[in-house]
Amino acid sequence: MTRLPAPWGHRINRDKPVSFRFEGTKFTGFEGDVIASSLAANDQWMLSRSFKYHRPRGLMSMAGSEADTLVQLPSDPNVQADRHQISEGLLVTAQNVNGSLANDRDAFMDKLGRFMPVGFYYRTFMGPTRNAWLKFWEPLIRKKAGLGVLDTNATHQNYEKANLFCDLLVVGGGAAGLTAAIEAAEAGADVILAEMEPEIGGALTYRRDSSDLLHDLRNRATACPNLRIMTDTLVNGWYEDNWLPLIRGNKLFKTRAVEVILATGAIEQPATFRNNDLPGIMLGSAAQRLMRHYAVKPGNRAVVLAANPDGYRVALDLLDAGVELATVVDPRAGGSGGDLANALHTKGVKTLTGDITEAQGKKHLKSVTADGTRIPCDLLVMSVGSVPMWQLPCQAGAKLSYDQDHARFNLTLPDAPLHIAGSVNGLSSHDAVTTDAIRSAHQVLAQLDLPHRDIAGVEDTEAVLANFEPTITAHPKGKDFIDRDEDIQVKDLQNATREGYRELELIKRFTTVGMGPSQGRHSALAAARIVAKATDRSIAETGVTTARPPFAPETLGVLSGHHHPAERRTALHQEHLRLGADMRPVGAWWRPYFYGDKTDARCLIDEEVRAVRENAGVLDVSTLGGLEVRGPDAGEFLNRIYTMAYKKQPVGRCRYCLMTNEMGTVIDDGVALRLADDLYYVTATTGAVARVYADMLFWNAQWQLDVDVLNVTSAFSGFNITGPNARQVVEALNSNIDFSHEGFAYLEGCEGRVAGVPVRAMRIGFTGELSYELHCPSSHALTLWQAIMEAGKSVSLRPYGLEASRILRLEKGHILIGQDTDALTSPDELGFDWAVSKSKPFFIGKRAIEMRRNKGLPRKLAGLSFDAPRDSQDVPQESCLVLRDNVPVGHVTSSLYSPTLKKHIALAYVHGDDSDTGTQVTLKCRNGKRVNAPVEGHAFFDPDNKRQEV
Amino acid sequence: MKILTCPMNGPRNINEFQCFGPVKNDPDPATTSDADWARHLFRVDNSRGVITEWWRHVPSNYFFLAERNATTNEVIRTFTPQDAEARP
């Protein structure tokens, strides 16, 4: 293994060798090496096979921007070999290979290229049968063309998120970014600088004659306390109002910046000729990165294709590194290497004016043809121009235009707190880049009201020379690649235009140009040039395709949310656990399902039901929504929100609340207790209270009634004591409330003190039994509960859970909004016309209810019961269909076995014409069996309501 | 992520807000025909250009109005319902 002597290779630590395996073979590099550099140092240039033709491919950019350098790690597919550092024992394999990288059994695909013209996917894989694509072609293509392999047993990794804020975010730590960041920080701005590479400096870390400037900038940056430098950090998108995701390893920094300077640099572009994808052909910047970062000699005998001053600098670098320089080829008419060319000439290098038309070699470059002459070489370096890194600016609304005179893309920024500086702004020389960065920094300082100067834009004599417009003609034998990721050749794009495609967006979809991992970084300009020429338009007219986030691939872990779903517990959670409750999640809440040993569930639930029907039970109803509606207009407000009338409701009385939306659909119910002329305490269903609260304020934002609504759901806890002996329990409590039949009638409510706790008491319930509901501030919940349990000892008061509650409510035929109603249920369909005021001039949904009533009753919720053994399968369960003439007309919404009535009971929507009591309806059980039942009322138990009003 | 300025809570991330749709006219249900009422319920103009919308700051459950350009997504101003009458 030979490396260039220091100072070449400042990123590697020659004292620390690191061994790893690539395709089973052991290689040794140094600490700081990336996979591609250590392989190149060992003369292993081939890294992968291409996507479609399985051609040998190696590194081209050393910047992590093409698919050819993607390799497989054991639990990580598509890792960039030119950016991923090696570690001891790392196992690396090549991707997209059938067999081995060196002997790919699919290499013959290269010879079949003419049978796979552009767009052939769309034509070939349609037949022969209807499902041929899904059954045959797609699996085959996935196997042939897929990139890495996902390890479904990969170890779990932790991903973190953080929020960052700053005055100025500078994206890119090259000469421009560093200068701008330092300039702004020195003037007092709070600055973050994000750099993708492991070190700051950008092109200064590998470009010729840059070390003094870099040294100076690094020193100044270190001296700025208000400049936060984040290396290895990818800025993966721009979102509205300067919100940018910064990704470093497994951590996502959601960053909000007042001002942003994009100093993202430029992307060097490859040249187009036959076999331009052979390993050994690379960009000038790639050769410089190999030498200066990793001390890797990129070849032994080189040809340099130089169309700009940087090309000549690379040639000088290669000479310094001991590479034999066969020739410098300058495609510009007359060439214009200037002083740099003279420096080369004095070292005996000849310059050839002309172009490279073809490269030769099988697995590595062997020679190139320049102007008809074949020149043996193992390295071809291309410096023919660059495009600004347009992705982030364009995501932020910048427009990309083409400057015909200088053969380059220009960016025009939108009117926003956003700036560009340096080579992304079309500048090239150190002086111009630095001045431009200072200019942008002072624009930012002016916006931030910090000391600033006005600095004029800069002219860069060198930038004028940086690009030239090549004539791209398709090589007769093809394999002149525009997009290496997708194996797109010049003729593919030309054919697409012949097929009638003119718009780049459509050409992209038809040919897949720019769809690979490089996302057009190396193909957008060439594609625009080819399409412009083929359609007789200017490049300004063809443009480029839309840039969208993300800038580079990101792992799903970075995007995933946290793993802590919101979870709510009542004040009595620990008490329920102490009593042996089986706690289950209901929405966000945890509620007791039943109390006792899980193996006896059914028996225990039956006992809980029996306790309520025959004695007394208590249910924690703290999850119930609670709203306080207060103000002079409170009655009027409730009149408009709910279907019943509340203005004349006496203080100390409860009234049912039914809420419909504007479409006349039932969306919630509850109970309103009037505590004072201007104060109602309103309950809402557990799942809907947040929405009801929002809706109430939304309507009042429009009505502007003098009323205030407060969501007190969490502030109050509640317990419902229910059963024939409930009165004995509450009367045994130490309280100032008269709980007697005479003193506290059904549907009355009051405030008082129980066991020293302030309570709101209501004679309401869901079970159909004598019920008292006591609500108290949640901080007192345990005290009140313990007092209730103590008071209930004489009658063996039993706490019961949610399942018993469901049975009790169904026995009584009470509906559950959301279970027995859906998005269309009207009050009429529930038989709730008694709950809809006919005299009120307005409530939400009134008009729609009337309009729907005029159209007739399409369905109605009916009670149904089935005399079948408890475990019988011949009983329709929830969501089973109700059939009429074999056509579904409704479904079962609730179905349970009633231990009280010893039969199955259900609520179901039946056809509107079948809603009369006694009408036989047909239902289809889950097992397919059809059963008949007569329509009943909702209340299966105590239909005359005798028990609850005692 | 876009920033929306709540008249009560100041500038906040847009994911703290919920849009309640464009402000609708308020026809009299007693005098509006069935067809017009159905149109009032179900049809939204979905117009381009500047529209006035209801927004809710979710954590505080505060409702306010915003003038937004539906084409460019630029928020022109936000204001309280009390200020709605003072629209320029």
Q: Is residue A851 within 8 angstroms of chain B, CB to CB?
A: yes
**Of A30-39, A324-333, A447-456, where does the model show the most confidence?**
A30-39
pLDDT tier at A468 (50, 70, 90 boundaries)?
confident
CB neighbour list of residue A353: distance below 8 Å, 6 or more residues apart: A329, A330, A331, A332, A333, A334, A335
Q: Report CB contact under 8 Å: A697, B3.
A: no
Chain A CB contacts of B37 below 8 Å: 847-848, 851
pLDDT tier at A251 (50, 70, 90 boundaries)?
very high
Residue B64 has pLDDT above 90, yes or no: yes
Mean pLDDT within A267-289: 96
What is the pairing mode between strands A243-248 and A251-262? antiparallel
Chain A CB contacts of B63 below 8 Å: 697-698, 701
In three-state form (DSSP H/G/I as H, E/B as E, the rest C), the secondary structure along A404-460 is CCCCEEEEECCCCCEEECHHHHCCCCHHHHHHHHHHHHHHHHHHCCCCCCCCCCCCC
Chain A CB contacts of B56 below 8 Å: 694, 697-698
Strands, E, within chain B: which ranges?
3-6, 10-13, 17-22, 50-57, 62-69, 75-79
Strands, E, within A441-588: which ranges?
481-483, 488-489, 568-569, 581-586
pLDDT tier at B88 (50, 70, 90 boundaries)?
very low
Instruction: Specify the pLDDT at position A543.
Output: 77
Chain B CB contacts of A698 below 8 Å: 20, 54, 56, 63
Contact B59, B76 (CB under 8 A): no
pLDDT tier at A145 (50, 70, 90 boundaries)?
low
Q: Report CB contact under 8 Å: B2, A847.
A: no
Residue B86 has pLDDT above 60, yes or no: no
Mean pLDDT of chain A: 93
Q: Report CB contact under 8 Å: A851, B64.
A: no
Joined together, the tokens standing for residue A122 give 């769309």
A704 CA to chain B: closest CA distance, Å?
A: 8
Sheet order of strands, A90-94 included: A25-31, A13-22, A90-94, A70-73, A76-80
Q: Which residues of B touch A (CB under 8 A)?
A: 1-3, 13-14, 18, 20, 26, 29-30, 32, 34, 37-38, 41, 54, 56, 61-64, 73, 81-82
Mean pLDDT within A281-303: 97
Q: Please name each of the domains of chain A with its CATH number.
A: 1-155 (3.10.20.440), 160-267+388-464 (3.50.50.60), 270-384 (3.50.50.60), 470-553 (1.10.10.1100), 569-622+715-808 (3.30.1360.120), 625-711 (3.30.70.1400), 812-934 (3.30.1360.120)
Chain B CB contacts of A847 below 8 Å: 29, 32, 37
pLDDT tier at A465 (50, 70, 90 boundaries)?
confident
> What is the pTM (predicted TM-score) of this model?
0.86
Residue A820 has pLDDT above 90, yes or no: yes
pLDDT tens for residues A653-703? 999 999 999 999 999 999 999 999 999 999 999 999 999 999 999 999 999
Count of A-B CB contacts under 8 Å: 49
Q: Is residue A841 within 8 angstroms of chain B, CB to CB?
A: yes
Work out the burial of residue A468: count CB atoms within 10 Å of its CB; fewer than 13 is exposed, 13-18 middle, 19 or more buried. middle
Pick the closest to residue A161 from A256, A248, A227 (CA basis). Answer: A248
Give dist(CA A425, CA A175) in Å, integer. Answer: 13
Contact A626, A716 (CB under 8 A): yes
The number of helices, as runs of H, and strands, as runs of E, in chain A is 24, 48
Instruction: Specify the pLDDT at position A1.
Output: 53
pLDDT tens for residues A42-76? 999 999 998 888 899 999 999 998 889 999 999 88
**Which one of A241, A663, A697 has the shortest CB-CB distance to B63?**
A697
Pick the closest to residue A393 from A442, A440, A429 (CA basis). Answer: A440
B60 CA to chain A: closest CA distance, Å?
A: 10
Give dist(CA A468, CA A471) in Å, integer. Answer: 10
Helix, strand, or coil (residue A696): helix
Q: What percent of chain A has pLDDT over 70?
A: 97
Instruction: Specify the pLDDT at position A304.
Output: 97
CB neighbour list of residue A379: distance below 8 Å, 6 or more residues apart: A280, A281, A282, A287, A298, A299, A300, A301, A302, A303, A318, A323, A365
DSSP classification of residue A99: B
Work out the burial of residue A837: count CB atoms within 10 Å of its CB; fewer than 13 is exposed, 13-18 middle, 19 or more buried. middle
Q: Report CB contact under 8 Å: B2, A842.
A: no
pLDDT tens for residues A562-618? 777 789 999 999 999 999 999 999 989 999 999 999 899 999 999 999 999 999 999
Chain A CB contacts of B68 below 8 Å: none
Q: Report CB contact under 8 Å: A847, B29.
A: yes
Helix, strand, or coil (residue A784): helix
Q: Report CB contact under 8 Å: B29, A846.
A: yes
Instruction: Specify the pLDDT at position A869.
Output: 95
**Which one of B1, B34, B64 has the shortest CB-CB distance to A851?**
B34
Query: Is the backbone peptide bond immediately before B88 cis, with ω within 30 degrees of 0?
Result: no
Instruction: Specify the pLDDT at position A335.
Output: 62
Q: What percent of chain A has pLDDT over 90?
A: 80
Half-sphere exposure of A47 (CA within 13 A, CB side): 28
Instruction: Specify the pLDDT at position A135.
Output: 76
Give dist(CA A789, CA A792) in Å, integer. Answer: 5
DSSP A583-624: EEEETTEEEEEEES-GGGHHHHHHHHHHHHHHS-EEEE-TTS
**Of A117-126, A147-156, A552-561, where does the model show the most confidence?**
A552-561
Contact A93, A81 (CB under 8 A): no
A456 CA to chain B: closest CA distance, Å?
A: 30
Q: Report CB contact under 8 Å: B1, A702.
A: no
Instruction: Specify the pLDDT at position A562.
Output: 73
Query: Is the backbone peptide bond immediately before A414 cis, with ω within 30 degrees of 0?
Result: no
Q: Report CB contact under 8 Å: A698, B56.
A: yes
Give me the sign of the Cα torsion angle B43, B70, A392, A406: positive
pLDDT tens for residues A491-533? 999 999 999 998 888 999 888 898 888 889 999 999 999 999 9
Residue in A702, A703, A711, A842 to test binding to B, most B beta-carbons within 10 Å: A702
Work out the burial of residue A813: count CB atoms within 10 Å of its CB; fewer than 13 is exposed, 13-18 middle, 19 or more buried. buried
A660 CA to chain B: closest CA distance, Å?
A: 14
Q: Is residue A415 within 8 angstroms of chain B, CB to CB?
A: no
Pick the closest to residue A766 from A683, A840, A834 (CA basis). Answer: A683
Instruction: Specify the pLDDT at position A120.
Output: 67
Q: How many CB atoms lie within 10 A of CB A503?
A: 13
Chain B CB contacts of A702 below 8 Å: 26, 81
Q: Please name each of the domains of chain B with its CATH number.
A: 3-25+33-86 (3.30.2270.10)
B1 CA to chain A: closest CA distance, Å?
A: 5
What is the pairing mode between strands A771-777 and A716-722? antiparallel
